[in-house]
Structure 1
Amino acid sequence: MTGEAQVVSTADRLFYAHGVQAVGMDTVRTESGVSLKRIYTLFPSKDDLILAVLQHRTKQWNTGVDGAIATAGTPRDKLLAVFDFLAEWFREDDFRGCAFINFFGELGGGSTRVAEAVREQKTSFQRRVAELVVEAGGPAFLAPQLVLLAEGAQTTAAITRDPDTAAHARAAAETLIRCAFGR
């Protein structure tokens, strides 16, 4: 792993587990084994490192969602695959909710760049679900409904520590899909 990748991976793990504001650059240095001078050469500010972590998280999210979708058979199954991805993620030992929501809650009001990066990821997810709805031949209003279920499930699962939240959201999604398609 390169120095940059090591720093981003370490910062991601620390920020996700403890919160962005609770983790200083010295901790990232100690945990990553990369000198502070090198870290600041790679990331001139903590905001730059936070943005790199969010980019890393975006890639992880897209890979996970796309992987789940790829295993689904029908276009409707692809819509539900998002919730299958969530079900697996919610069962991970280190699950702490959506990093984007967490970072936004912690920093969104004070960092325009972080707020923009989070909004960009959320908009990208909305577009992806809208594409799946179109592929399935569904009405446009279905996409934002499914996105709200997925986003709400992430927050609820983080707060309640109940991984079955994904199954409840999936069942609600099945109902919405059935109603939207008229069957």
Structure 2
Amino acid sequence: MSTASTTRTRLTPQRSAELYEAVLDLLREVGYDALTMDAIAARTRSSKATLYRQWGSKPELVAKALRHNKPVGAGDIDTGSLRGDFHAMVDSTDDCQLEKDSGLIRGLAQAIHHNPDLHKALRELIMEPEINEINTLLRRAVERGEVSADNPALGFVTHMLFGAFFARLMIDDRAPDRSYLSDYLDAVVLPALGV
């Protein structure tokens, strides 16, 4: 990742949110490969130097925009049961946002094959924190006695959850919605965990 963080100027949270939304809008419009820092600077009425100083690189800016777009982290959810926690995750978004995110995910999944820096940024800023948050939910479920600590499905929960998005897109050619994700949890993930 960039070492520019020690020299970055502070943007207000509102200005950062505006920049992130503009990045995501451009990403939806043109895709990752055609997205340029020049276009982001023009759309946000910023200088390219400011963007590089603040984020270091296009992959880092894209990954941070995606992370900012996430309404609530799974680690912040604690309903007292794993079933409740997983359903609260699904309920924390809406179908319109899921559809928008699915388009981004589809485009980025293609782009990471040709852009190792993007893959690294997405892994560090999106996937690893998400995996850690899901593991927090699972650890609490084990501590509560809901899931056996030796359940072999524990090591595959994040694969199942990430897979749900891609399977819906690839097999059904549809974006996952809350109903689909809720049914998937109840039919696949929770039974595999013995819940």
TM-score by length of 2: 0.66
Partner of 1:33: 45
Distance 1:13 1:36, change over 3 A: same
SS at match of 1:64: coil
Give the counterpart letter for 1:90 in structure 2: D
Runs of 4+ in 1 over 6 A off after TM superposition: none
Q: Name which of 25, 33, 40 aligns with 1:21.
A: 33
Aligned equivalents of 1:60, 1:143: Cα separation in 2: 27
Aligned equivalents of 1:36, 1:180: Cα separation in 2: 48
SS at match of 2:72: helix
Greater relative contact order (CA < 8 Å, ≥ 6 in sequence): 2
Q: Name which of 90, 95, 102 aligns with 2:95.
A: 90
Aligned equivalents of 2:89, 2:68: Cα separation in 1: 15
Identical-residue share of aligned pairs (%) = 14
Q: How many residues align?
A: 173
Aligned equivalents of 1:65, 1:150: Cα separation in 2: 14
Shift of 1:54: 0.5
Give the aligned CA root-mean-square deviation in angstroms. 3.4
The question of whether the paired residues in 1 share the 8 Å contact of 2:37 and 2:48 is answered with yes
Distance 1:90 1:17, change over 3 A: farther
Distance 1:148 1:97, change over 3 A: same
Distance 1:125 1:142, change over 3 A: farther
Which structure 2 segments of 5+ residues have no match? 1-10
Partner of 1:154: 165
Listed one character per residue, the Cα deviations across residues 76-112 of structure 1 (whole Å, up to 9, x for unaligned) are 3113322333xx3432386141745632421x23333
The question of whether the paired residues in 1 share the 8 Å contact of 2:41 and 2:47 is answered with yes
Aligned equivalents of 1:16, 1:141: Cα separation in 2: 38
Shift of 1:41: 4.8
The question of whether the paired residues in 2 share the 8 Å contact of 1:10 and 1:28 is answered with yes
Aligned equivalents of 2:99, 2:183: Cα separation in 1: 25
Partner of 1:58: 67
Greater helix share, structure number = 1
